[in-house]
Amino acid sequence: MRINSKAKRFFVECYNNVELYQQLSHGMNITEENIEDIWDTLPIVNKIDIINNQDKLIYPPALVRDLGKPPYEVYTSGTTGECLKVTWGQGDVKRSLSSLWVLRKERFGIEPSDKLCFFFSTFNDSHNNKELVKKISETKLGIFKEYIKYDNAVKLYELINKFSPTWMIVQPSIIQIIMHAWKSHGYRPIDMIKYIECTGEVLTQAEKEEIEEYFGCPVMNQYGTTEVNSIACSCEYGNLHVMDNNVIVEIVDDSNQKLPDDDEGNIIISSLTNTSMPFLRYRIGDRGRIISQKCKCGSCYPVLDLSYCRVNDKLFIDGEERSLYTLFKPIRRLVEEHGFDIKQFKIVEQGNRAYTYYLVMDSKLRNEITQFIIDSIKNDLGECTLEIITCEYIEPNQKNGKIVIFERK
Ligand SMILES: [Zn+2]
């Protein structure tokens, strides 16, 4: 494994000073001289290992180093069925996104000062001010995902049109709803939008082309996670190129043995920029392969081909499409707004308006949580039959080793 000298210094510092990595690599004597040679034998960590050891992963000296500004905390999107609180230093965030910004500027002419419309899923930073639309500044408009419904098409069009964004960051399922609702109302796309960045879910080539055709602007697929930020971005040929300055990507088999290029397996990420909460050889829960053949676009960055990615499933109630997020929302709110320690979850659709929630958490709190979920779902979807089950562990999907968070009976 080739690692540049700056990254070597950082990784060695982590293995020798961050409690979780110290414990896992105990007795290995990792130095800048030997780290490249022994890299493939270094421990691989899963999300659940990290959830159970969150405080052992925080590296205070890095936080202090980080411009002296307070760090911020974000939750993983929950689309993997496991909730993890991630700490980022502000300087690290900037560094982790710098390659992505260069790319946005070079390929699409987008700069940080351009007007952005994005879609958020929680009220993390505005507990007492629960608006569906947040105008963060003159150049940033956030719209709560829950607001995205066919019924809101007219209001949504007026809102976005009035703001006139230059670009959008949006999940494929959200832009699909917007696009189909607008098409059915005969709305023309908003002229100002000159670039759309899709993230957070799988984007198929057919979906990408449909969005590009309707909006009349390029669409880029950005694959990333809250833990490490940007991992790969698609080129004009639709291939995802690894963001080499931000992450190291490896592929291993189910027994954590390194796989050669073109072999499909588990994606392992090492962050080069999150120094406050370092993710080293982290099994992210997605599967894919590194393609050995050079891409036609001429980029020297490796191509990552994702196989099973995060779900992009749709929810139908009484035959009508609804946002699947509505079912996850009470879980997110319990964790992020009310501090409940829900480690994993899964929702099984038993039939129309009937759902079973499996939650890995302290069973003593079940009654309290059950009422919260019932109230939330009733408020959003009307009468539904709900069953809430607490358990110790959720079985990953046998096919891909991932926790599937939404399943149909
Ligand atoms: Zn390419």
pTM of the model: 0.76
pLDDT the model gives residue 314: 63
Q: Summarize pLDDT for 48-76 with one digit per residue, the tens.
A: 888 889 889 988 777 666 656 677 787 77
Q: How far is ligand 1, taken at its centre, from the CA of residue 94, in Å?
A: 25
Q: How far is ligand 1, taken at its centre, from the CA of residue 91, in Å?
A: 29
Closest CA to 121 of 182, 152, 79: 79
pLDDT band with cut points at 50, 70 and 90 for residue 81: low
Q: How far is ligand 1, taken at its centre, from the CA of residue 36, in Å?
A: 28
Q: How far is ligand 1, taken at its centre, from the CA of residue 283, in Å?
A: 25
Q: How far is ligand 1, taken at its centre, from the CA of residue 294, in Å?
A: 8
Select, from the ranges 124-128, 134-138, 231-235, 336-340, the one with the highest average predicted confidence (pLDDT). 231-235
pLDDT the model gives residue 323: 67
Q: How far is ligand 1, taken at its centre, from the CA of residue 295, in Å?
A: 5
Q: How far is ligand 1, taken at its centre, from the CA of residue 240, in Å?
A: 7
Residue scoring higher pLDDT (188 or 78)? 188
How far is residue 97's CA from residue 99's CA, in Å, rounded to a whole number? 6
Counting other chains too, the contacts that 317-321 makes at CB distance below 8 Å and 24 or more residues apart are 317/352, 317/353, 317/381, 318/352, 318/353, 320/150, 321/150, 321/177
Averaged pLDDT, 78-104:
85
The answer to whether the CB of 313 falls within 8 A of the CB of 324 is yes
How far is residue 108's CA from residue 15's CA, in Å, rounded to a whole number? 39
Q: How far is ligand 1, taken at its centre, from the CA of residue 259, in Å?
A: 22
DSSP state of 215: H
Average per-residue pLDDT for the chain: 86
The answer to whether the CB of 291 falls within 8 A of the CB of 73 is no
Q: Summarize pLDDT for 359-398 with one digit per residue, the tens.
A: 988 889 999 999 999 998 988 888 999 999 998 877 765 5
Q: How far is ligand 1, taken at its centre, from the CA of residue 238, in Å?
A: 7
Q: How far is ligand 1, taken at its centre, from the CA of residue 21, in Å?
A: 35
Averaged pLDDT, 213-229:
94
